[in-house]
Structures are given as structure tokens and as C-alpha cells.
Amino acid sequence: LPEVETLCLQLQQKIAGKKILSTKIFDDKLDGIATVRNRIVASVRRSGKTIILVLDDGRRISVHLRMTGRLFWNPSGEKLPHGRWRMVFEEGVVDLVDPRRFATVKIEKDRIDTGEKDLLLDFDENAFMTKQTDRKVSVKTLLMDPKAIAGIGNIYACEILHQAGVSPLRRAAAVTASEWKKIFRLARRVLKKGIESRGTSISDWRDLYGRKGENQKALRVYGKAGCTCEACGGVICRIKQGGRSSYYCPHCQL
């Protein structure tokens, strides 16, 4: 989410009010995306990890970057490696670059309520606690379930649970109401800090201008298996949950 929010803020600055002269597809997998011509980008929004460009004719371009998708401001318009799709503006182009080709672009005619429960926008803690907290899944799996909470990815889920002192292995049903409140509070703090740092460039995340984020410096557990926990001096472990790596400190996360 912080990475997506970073792009939204930058896109809002760069292309809101500007005219999309045309769009172009470079990847067969994305065939079928309608071409947009001569439409103004009215605003840029986010819902969960979906970037939404609202056009002046009411249509919306929704872009989901999945794992490796990135958006780059490309003034020269030269073709970039792994370039999949682009929007052409008078001053330059915005390129969707995605080595793994998981990213999606949709053009929607009407306003669509995505129904996403975005922690920083319209999340209802009480509704969540009524509907979700008796589930059998682990708290970490639940935090990453986009139907339950939109916007918490693997890195941030690990960091949030570490700060909350809750083990990722704990069943959701065994998390108390006050622990949930703490998790929500810390989740917002972790995500906001991630946004202020323009995202986590632990791998190849870059912002609209190709710059690294700074949030990797603030990580306390993600990617740190075998390292010492700065909170308690324990040793950070890596385990697998639902096919994803979880990093945590068994000593201070219970």
C-alpha cells in the first residue's frame, strides 16, 4: 500500500488535469484494454492496492501492479525493458513496466464500488471485529486477506505483527479485542511511515521517477532471519504460512 500510495501522490501531481493523447499496449496478455484518446485525467485515487485514474468522461482506468508492476514517468518515451502498456501525454509518457506480467489494467465505464476495506480510507474496525475475528486462519493470513482488509502486504504484515507483539501463527480467533485495536493502530502507523518513506525498496521497487524508497531501513523483522530482535534480543525466525514467508521474533511475539 505505501508503494501504491506513493505512486498515486506522484501521479496526481504529474498528470492530473493533463490530457491522455493515446494509450498503447506492448504485451499480448493485455490485449483487450480499450484505447483512451484525448481524455483528461480528472483525479488519481487509490482503493487498497488498486490505482484509479478518473477520466473526464466518467470512465476509470484501474491499474493493479501485483508483485512487480511499476509505473514510470518517461519523458523521452523510449521503449523500456518489460514495458507492457503506456499512456501518452504531451510532456512524456507513463509506462507500466512489469517483468512478471501479473499487473492488470482495466477500463471501467461506471463508478464501481470496489468494496475494498482500505485501512487508511474507510475501514470499519467494529464491523471487522464482528465478522472476521472468530476465523480459524492465522492472524497473519487474515491481515493479508484483501477481502478482509485491503492494503496490507507481506512485508507490512510482518512488521505490524512484530510491533504489536503478536505471533503470526496465532489463530485470529485467539486475538483479543484490545490486541486488534492495537494491531489497527500500529498498522496505520506502519503504513503511514511507509508512505512518508516512499515505500520499501528491499528489492526492486522504484517510484514514478525511478527512485528507491527509504522504508527498508525501518524494517525490524522482514528479511532478517537469524538476526537479533532489536526489541528483545531474541533471534528472528522465518517460517512459511500459506506459501509466503513470515518473519517474526518468537521471544517477543506471542
By CB under 7 A, name the one of 203, 209, 232, 233 that touches DNA.
203
| Closer residue to DNA (CB): 45 or 82 | 82
Min CB(82)–DNA separation in Å: 7
- Angstrom distance (rounded) from CA 99 to CA 84: 9
HEC-encoded secondary structure of 74-137: ECCCCCCCCEEEEEECCCCEEEEECCCCCCEEEEECCCCCCCCCECCCCCCHHHHHHHCCCCCC
Strand partners, 23: 87
The answer to whether 37 contacts DNA (rule: CB under 7 A) is no
Does residue 26 interact with DNA by CB under 7 A?
no
Contact with DNA (CB under 7 A) among 53, 105, 139, 144 = 144
Task: Select from 18, 64, 170, 185 the one that contacts DNA (CB under 7 A).
Answer: 64
Helices (H), the chain: 2-15, 125-131, 139-143, 154-164, 177-196
Q: Which is nearer to DNA, 88 or 183 (CB)?
A: 183
Cell of 25: 499496449
Compare residues 83 and 186 and give the one whose CB is closer to DNA: 83
Over the window 110 to 139, marking each residue x when it contacts DNA by CB under 7 A and - when it does not, the resulting string is -------------------------xxx--
- Closest by CA to 75, choosing from 7, 15, 9, 26, is 15
| Contact positions vs DNA (CB under 7 A) | 29, 48-49, 64, 66-68, 82, 99-102, 135-137, 141, 144, 146-147, 150, 153-155, 200-205, 242-245
